[in-house]
Amino acid sequence: MKNKFRIFGALLFGAVVMGGLLFTACSKDDDDNDNGKVDPSTIATANLVAYMPFDDNALETIGNITPSQQPNVTYVVGRRGKAYQGASGAYLRYNLPDNSKLKTLKSYTVAMWIKSPKVDGTPVPKVIEIGKSDDLFWGNLTIMIERLTDPGADSLFFKLHFKKVGVPWEGQWIEAKKSIFQVNKWMHLVFQYDATTSKFMIYKDGVKVEFPEAVENRYANDQQEPLGDLNFVNADVLNIGAWRPKTDSQATDEWMGWFMGNLDELRVYDKALSATEVKALYDAEVSQITE
């Protein structure tokens, strides 16, 4: 009888152990079925209004918009699959449909992987623009890389410009010059403006870049009234890689240059992402790196 109990106990113990092992194995499989990868498009999904993965084509996947013009554009190995390769005379132009949320941004976040050569004595390249039909130079929102004034510097100098109806001057300028903006190295950059606080911020690789308060705060006039909601007007195109006067009116101004670097995983949101969301987006992007 004792032997029967011993045998039963051993069988029961084995079943519990095996069951535990089986349960643990299944749980591990369930938790790690993507090998630690996170889809970046699951971050702030409701606010993602444009996304260009540049995976061997230029389709904007949220609005399903194919560029109306894409001369000389090629694709190279990027951070995730392929990436946009800039060149002289290369650009993408998207005609925005009437219902595009890019036309009505009050706040914004523009996130991208970017790698660019140094810009010093060469013309100023425009990276991205939400265009304005009656202002081919600056549009509604422009991100460019300005010339470095210090010939010894080895970094990138970003400059942004965005407009709001009623502002008593041409627009809001942001100058972002930091040694951490590295030349010819992939960086994940996030540019954002928050209408609720009238603050502009930049994140590099998931971390907020510190600037003086005068750079972060955007005001509508000399009385220091907050800028508040943006109000784009006559927004009609999204341009990547080119100044619109060069593509629309064959301007020959020497200072207007083509973007010669690489872009990958370009996303636009209709709000300023929180710091937590920016970090989550960066971590998700890193989990997808394939190069």
pLDDT digits (tens, 9 = 90+) for 130-170: 998 888 888 999 999 999 877 678 899 999 999 887 765 56
Q: What is the pTM of this model?
A: 0.87
Phi and psi, residue 103, nearest 5°: -80, -15
Examine the pLDDT at 24 and tell me if it is beyond 60.
Answer: no
- C-alpha radius of gyration, the chain, whole number: 24
Burial class (CB in 10 A: 0-12, 13-18, 19+), 287: middle
Q: Percentage of the chain with pLDDT > 90?
A: 67
What pLDDT is recorded for position 168? Answer: 59
* Cα(226)–Cα(79) distance, integer angstroms: 38
Work out the average pLDDT over 250-270: 93
Work out the average pLDDT over 115-134: 92
- Entry field: residues in the chain: 291
Residue that wins the pLDDT comparison between 28 and 223: 223
Asked whether the beta carbons of 103 and 235 are under 8 A apart, the reply is yes
* Cα(69)–Cα(90) distance, integer angstroms: 10
Examine the pLDDT at 28 and tell me if it is beyond 60.
Answer: no
Question: pLDDT grade, residue 4 (50/70/90)?
Answer: very low
pLDDT digits (tens, 9 = 90+) for 173-220: 899 999 999 999 999 999 999 999 999 999 999 999 999 888 899 888
* Cα(67)–Cα(95) distance, integer angstroms: 7
What pLDDT is recorded for position 2? Answer: 44
172 pairs with which residues across the strands? Answer: 162
Asked whether the beta carbons of 112 and 264 are under 8 A apart, the reply is yes
* Cα(39)–Cα(51) distance, integer angstroms: 13
Residue that wins the pLDDT comparison between 121 and 290: 290
What pLDDT is recorded for position 29? Answer: 40
Contacts of 14 (CB under 8 A, 6+ apart): none
Q: What does 109-120 look like in DSSP terms, one character per residue? A: EEEEEEE----S
Work out the average pLDDT over 60-69: 97
pLDDT digits (tens, 9 = 90+) for 218-233: 888 777 888 999 989 8
State the average pLDDT for the chain. Answer: 87
Work out the average pLDDT over 75-79: 97
Question: pLDDT grade, residue 5 (50/70/90)?
Answer: very low
What pLDDT is recorded for position 264? Answer: 98
Report CA 92 to chain centroid distance, whole Å: 16
Work out the average pLDDT over 5-22: 42
Examine the pLDDT at 34 and tell me if it is beyond 90.
Answer: no
